[in-house]
Amino acid sequence: MMMLNHQSQSQRTALVGLLATLLPFFFPNLFSPLSRSFPSMFSEWNAPKPMHSSLLEAALLRQIPFRHQLDLWSPLPSQGWEPCPDLQPSTPLPKSQGYIQVFLDGGLNQQRMGICDAVAVAKILNSTLVIPHLEVNPVWQDSSSFADIFDVDHFIQVLKDEVSIVRELPSELSWSTREYYATGIRETRIKTAPVQASAEWYLENVLPVLQSYGVAAISPFSHRLAFNKLPINLQRLRCKVNFEALAFVPHIRQLAGTLVNRLRYPPSQSQETGTTHLKEGQEAIRNRLGSKFVVLHLRFDKDMAAHSACDFGGGKAQKMALAKYRQVLWQGRVMNSQFTDEELRYQGRCPLTPEEIGLLLAALGFSNTTRLYLASHKVYGGEARISTLRKLFPLMEDKKSLTSPEERAKIEGKASLSSAVDYYVSMQSDIFISASPGNMHNALVGHRAFYNLKTIRPSMGLLGKLFLNKSIEWSEFEEAIRAGHWNRQGTIRLRKETQSIYTYPAPDCMCRSS
């Protein structure tokens, strides 16, 4: 009887584990943010234990010399590079060869790079670009259009002397739609554009279609233009699109500006000094008050966590859930899965957890009075996962803590608009840092380098090795972090072959300072 009871208990335990893995996929409402706020048998959502408790305890007691604070927050000195002057073409645009359409996959920042490439392709072909179509992101399920995110009038006006751009096709070509290309093979659809295609490829393969039909639709169009062997005017045109023509719509800029103002001038300071509505002399007031802030892009969603194949300290149920997620989304085709967690960390392939990025910031010299803005759409594990970061930086803010539901109404539930707000705030921050490489990290590294703004790039290989050392003392950790990051805080790095001009704008899109 005891043996039977033991077997029954084992079977029940196995069944619970299986349910914990499968139920989120078939009954997602059971795992809504509301349900996660209550104790649950599904331990995937339980608060994880700190993975580096001894370092965390020491970091909470950290004391940082004032001199180091000054060095950390000081702006970057001139590095001898600046944006090139915009030399407008002196000749009128040549006759258009036809209309180019592109359909862009990915999240906001991947689409942003695709838009820049599309303008360059239109220039190569002497064609008219139709405002790009943004596909629905399969992860975030956001159907926002180009006009929902970017100021179309500004986009067309800035580029009017470079490329002809229209909002939509003329009526005689109105049949060329996304739906039309989804229902069969069409002669006007170009689906064979190779990754990093050359200018010659477009002239040989797309121009004949334009000349025959008056329109060509290129899909897929992600990373479909090379970074090498292009004329300098095309490279600078891509940067002009990225850094000047792509301005967010007014309501995004207004909401983001509100966030920046509340970070710069916290209510207590504004009420005491009357700085809330000041415009002139705000820089001097900000320096006197010390109201600087750092933006942390915390890319720690379930999609990323699963794809990394790393262990994030959430226990067996979390490992099973992430393994199942990988199997469902990628049918097991995740290369990292062949390595152990230790091997992945040693190679620097594991994204930093909120706890780990907090320890990095503390070791770099950010005090517990730092105003930290959290740029993130969804954090896997919710507030329980963020709690250690919040202990280290109690003045941490995000969109919800700084604004009312009414102020956020236009972006609520729209990941691309939310990301656009975070992007704008990130460009206004004194310092930007990302917890792991990705499209937003790459876009902001390049954009901030273009304007010589301080951006800290975590050394993932160094951090992986340090976090594997469970006996490391805080002083040794802190020294290694500072030594490994002194030249990773915005130093201009010249683009190497095959690297993106959107991440490394020098020397293609920047000129030597006089």
- The alpha carbon dihedral of 189, 191, 195, 198 has a sign of negative
With 70 as the cut, is the pLDDT of residue 282 above it? no
Lowest mean pLDDT among 36-50, 105-119, 357-371: 36-50
Across 460-479, average pLDDT: 97
Across 247-261, average pLDDT: 98
211-238 residue pLDDT tens: 999 999 999 999 999 999 999 999 999 9
What pLDDT does 47 receive?
Answer: 66
Lowest mean pLDDT among 19-23, 395-399, 456-460: 19-23
Max mean pLDDT range (176-180, 287-291, 434-438):
176-180
What pLDDT does 272 receive?
Answer: 37
In the chain, count H helices and then E strands.
Answer: 24, 13
Structure tokens at 411: 């972006």
- Tokens 């392939």 correspond to 349
Q: Give 268's pLDDT tier (boundaries 50, 70, 90).
A: low
Q: Find out whether 447 and 243 touch, Cβ atoms under 8 Å.
A: yes
132-142 residue pLDDT tens: 999 987 777 88
Best CA proximity match to 508, nearest among 161, 81, 120, 76: 81
294 sits in which H/E element: strand 293-297
With 50 as the cut, is the pLDDT of residue 266 above it? yes
- Render 306-369 in DSSP notation, one character per residue: HHHT---S-HHHHHHHHHHHHHHHHTT--GGGGS-HHHHHHTT-SPPPHHHHHHHHHHHT--TT
Please give the residue that has the higher pLDDT: either 339 or 29.
339
What pLDDT does 313 receive?
Answer: 87
- % of the chain exceeding 90 in pLDDT: 72
Q: Give 89's pLDDT tier (boundaries 50, 70, 90).
A: low
In this structure, which amino acid lies at residue 237?
A: L
Q: Find out whether 119 and 129 touch, Cβ atoms under 8 Å.
A: yes
Q: Which residues pair with 248 in a beta bridge?
A: 150
Average pLDDT, the chain: 87
pTM greater than 0.85: yes
In this structure, which amino acid lies at residue 15?
A: L
Structure tokens at 14: 């196995």
Across 300-315, average pLDDT: 89
112-125 residue pLDDT tens: 999 999 999 999 99
What pLDDT does 274 receive?
Answer: 37
416-438 residue pLDDT tens: 999 999 999 999 999 999 998 88
Report how far residue 246's alpha carbon sits from residue 254's, in angstroms, rounded to the nearest whole number. Answer: 16
For 207-242, letters b (16+ CB in 10 Å) and e give: bebbeebbbbbbbbbbbbbbbeebeeebbbbbbbbb
362-420 residue pLDDT tens: 999 999 999 999 998 788 888 889 999 999 999 999 999 999 999 999 999 999 999 99
CA angle 494, 193, 149 (to 5 degrees): 70
Helix or strand or coil: residue 176? coil
Peptide bond before residue 24 is cis, with ω within 30 degrees of 0: no
